Structure 1
């Protein structure tokens, strides 16, 4: 399991994640979300809605592993997107994701 997935588990236990599309959209609009992760097998409409919101509110957004991998990392089933509410976690996740994209 990659490092960013481990970090997601820690962030969840710390109460720094938002799950569920509607909650994530609200957190983006309220600028509480610092980073949004979207499973690469998310439906077109959901993916578009979240990426559009993120770009409008200038919140970094990453396409990551499939929903099963994402869900497994946080111990919840059927999760297609996660918002990170903590700047520290968001920065670390971004650097890990950027590394894995480059690497």
Structure 2
């Protein structure tokens, strides 16, 4: 299993991961989210919404994996969007995911 996905599983067990559109939106708005992960098979509309929101609040956005692998990595059904709320986990996941997917740093 990919190390970035393993990191998501660890973050989930540590209680440092949020899932679901509304929950992740709130975390972005409150700057609680340190990294937002979006499934590469999310709809264009969803991708645009989260790109814009993360851009406004300067939260790194990672688009990669598919909804099945995101869900299975955290022991849940398919997931389209996740927010990591811990800086350590966010760094770990970005380090391992940077190789295989698009990470946007919005300055």
TM > 0.5 between the two? yes
Residue in 2 aligned with 1:65?
65
Q: SS state of the match for residue 99, structure 1? A: coil
Separation in structure 1 between the aligned mates of residue 37 and residue 48 of structure 2, nearest angstrom: 13
In the alignment, what sits opposite 2:97?
A: 97
Secondary structure of the residue that 1:93 maps to in structure 2?
helix
The structural deviation recorded for 1:46 is 1.4
Q: Which residue of 1 aligns with 2:76?
A: 76
Q: After the TM superposition, list the runs of 4 or more consecutive aligned residues in structure 1 that deviate by more than 4 angstroms.
A: none
Q: TM-score, normalised by structure 2?
A: 0.90
In the TM superposition, residue 48 of structure 1 has moved relative to its aligned partner by 1.0
Residue in structure 2 matched with residue 7 of structure 1 by the alignment = 7
User: TM-score, normalised to structure 1's length?
Assistant: 0.93
1:54 aligns with 2:60: no
Shift of 1:78: 2.1
SS in 1 for 2:98: helix
Between Structure 1 and Structure 2, how many residues are aligned? 101
CA-based RMSD: 1.0
Aligned to 2:105: none
- Gap regions ≥5 residues in structure 1: none
Alpha-carbon separation, structure 2, partners of 1:95 and 1:67: 20
